[in-house]
Amino acid sequence: MSEIDSMTQVADIQARALLALAAVDDLPALDEWRVSFMGRRSALTQLMRSLGSLPAEDRPALGAFANTARRTLEEALSDRRREIARAQPEAAADAIDVTLPGWPTPRGGIHPTTRIVREICAAFASMGFSVVEGPEIEWDHYNFEMLNIPRHHPARDMWDTLWIDFEDADGERPMLLRTHTSPMQARIMESTRPPVRVVVPGKCYRYEATDPRHEWHFYQIEGLAVDRGIAMTDLKGTLYEFARRMFGVDRKVRFRCDYFPFVEPGVDMSIDCFLCQGDGCRVCSHTGWIEIMGAGMVHPNVLEGVGYDPNIYTGFAFGMGPERISMLKHGIEDIRLFYSNDLRFLRQFS
């Protein structure tokens, strides 16, 4: 085929395409037109691919002519698309106009639990504590026995345990979803010589009914300090400083006796209600105080179990629920909101 014949064929394709385009009146038909006259198997595309068979001196002119025809059709296609969109607004809603700017990508935010965990860990890190993590699937040996809670001890009833369906040679189930982050006390002391100062954030699991104050899975932050000469005054001073950093420098604290199998003596720590300033309100159950964590001096049996001499080393431990801390700081009334994936709730912390 000669150069003149090829140009005539291109002009003919362009004329037929423009004539057919004028009759298109909806977007589906417009897409069919694009495939027929500009697709990979269209006559114009096939002709442009055949340029290599022409004499070298004929190719530039014919190539330029064919490209001009293609640009003409592309412009006509864009014009016709806009005309149809104006005539059919409902069709325009589904159309993609590549000439318009894209939709902005929504920005995410840090989950409120992650935010408060980082804030708590940063407070203790500034006091010399390291941050470590541990396994969520734990051995009974670390979750209970190394924490002065031997098998069949009534203290095990304090934790509604989710056991892993795995039996050992004795027919016992030695694995579970950890009920607290305290097992890391034993794990860390087994592999570390004093001094020890760590906080352990992580998720815990308990088989219990959910309500505004309880979840079956939740975060906990465990703290441990062991060294020569550590006393109850060190525990009180450390936790008092933490309360001031989290809830304000004017906070007051209160320690009362409590029982935890792995500490002796054990205490619960409360702060004066920052809403009513201790006068009594609904948040503090009209007592003027809000409990935020349990703590105590590490039990000598726990120290002996990891090879520490309790006559030389002493220490303190504490544990808190970061979701509870967040609920107090932000006035959140239902812990289930943290895990409901409700964007109306989560966006408030973005």
Establish if 104 belongs to a structural domain: no
142 and 82 in a common domain: no
Please identify, among 59, 92, 125, the residue that sits at the C-terminal boundary of a domain: 92
327 and 288 in a common domain: yes
**What pLDDT score does 2 carry?**
57
**What pLDDT score does 1 carry?**
52
Establish if 97 belongs to a structural domain: no
**What pLDDT score does 22 carry?**
86
**What pLDDT score does 95 carry?**
57
> Terminus-to-terminus CA distance in the chain, angstroms?
67
197 and 295 in a common domain: yes
290 and 224 in a common domain: yes
- The answer to whether residue 263 is catalytic is yes
**Catalytic position from the list 159, 243, 253, 302:** 159
Establish if 241 belongs to a structural domain: yes
229 and 147 in a common domain: yes
SS (H, E, C) the chain: CCHHHHHHHHHHHHHHHHHHHHCCCCHHHHHHHHHHHHCCCCHHHHHHHHHHHCCCCCHHHHHHHHHHHHHHHHHHHHHHHHHHHHHCHHHHCCCCCCCCCCCCCCCCCCCHHHHHHHHHHHHHHCCCCEECCCCCEEEHHHHCHHHCCCCCCHHHHHCCCEECCCCCCCCCCCEEECCCCCHHHHHHHHHCCCCEEEEEEEEEECCCCCECCECCEEEEEEEEEEEECCCHHHHHHHHHHHHHHHHCCCCCEEEEEECCCCEEEEEEEEEECCCCCCCCCCCCCCCCEEEEEEEEEECHHHHHHCCCCCCCEEEEEEEECHHHHHHHHHCCCCHHHHHCCCHHHHHHHC
260 and 188 in a common domain: yes
**Catalytic position from the list 263, 267, 298, 302:** 263
216 and 185 in a common domain: yes
Q: What type of residue sits at position 10?
A: V
List average pLDDT for each run of 10 residues in the chain, which is 350 residues long. Answer: 69 86 85 86 81 74 81 88 75 63 82 93 94 94 92 81 84 88 94 94 90 88 96 95 90 91 93 76 78 94 94 96 89 88 87
Give the C-alpha separation, 76 to 66, whole Å. 15
Give the C-alpha separation, 80 to 342, whole Å. 43
**What pLDDT score does 169 carry?**
76
**What pLDDT score does 27 carry?**
83
- The answer to whether residue 33 is catalytic is no
Percent of the chain with pLDDT over 70: 95
Establish if 106 belongs to a structural domain: no
289 and 238 in a common domain: yes
**What pLDDT score does 316 carry?**
97
Please write the tens of the pLDDT for every residue from 133-162: 999 999 999 999 999 998 888 878 877 889
**Catalytic position from the list 206, 226, 243, 253:** 206
Indicate the pTM of the whole model: 0.67
For the chain, the domain total comes to 2
- The answer to whether residue 159 is catalytic is yes
190 and 127 in a common domain: yes
Establish if 101 belongs to a structural domain: no
124 and 88 in a common domain: no
162 and 223 in a common domain: yes
Query: What is the span of the domain harbouring residue 262?
Result: 114-349
**What pLDDT score does 332 carry?**
87
Establish if 109 belongs to a structural domain: no
Q: What is the CATH number of the domain that holds 256?
A: 3.30.930.10
What is the CB neighbour count within 10 angstroms for residue 315? 26
**Catalytic position from the list 117, 226, 298, 317:** 317
Please write the tens of the pLDDT for every residue from 164-200: 988 877 778 789 999 999 999 999 999 999 999 999 9
164 and 26 in a common domain: no
Establish if 343 belongs to a structural domain: yes
- The answer to whether residue 302 is catalytic is no
Establish if 128 belongs to a structural domain: yes
**Catalytic position from the list 80, 186, 220, 225:** 220
**Residue 201 Cα distances to 11, 52, 220, 323, angstroms:** 73, 69, 6, 12
**What pLDDT score does 132 carry?**
95
**Catalytic position from the list 34, 81, 178, 180:** 180
**What pLDDT score does 3 carry?**
57
**What pLDDT score does 9 carry?**
82
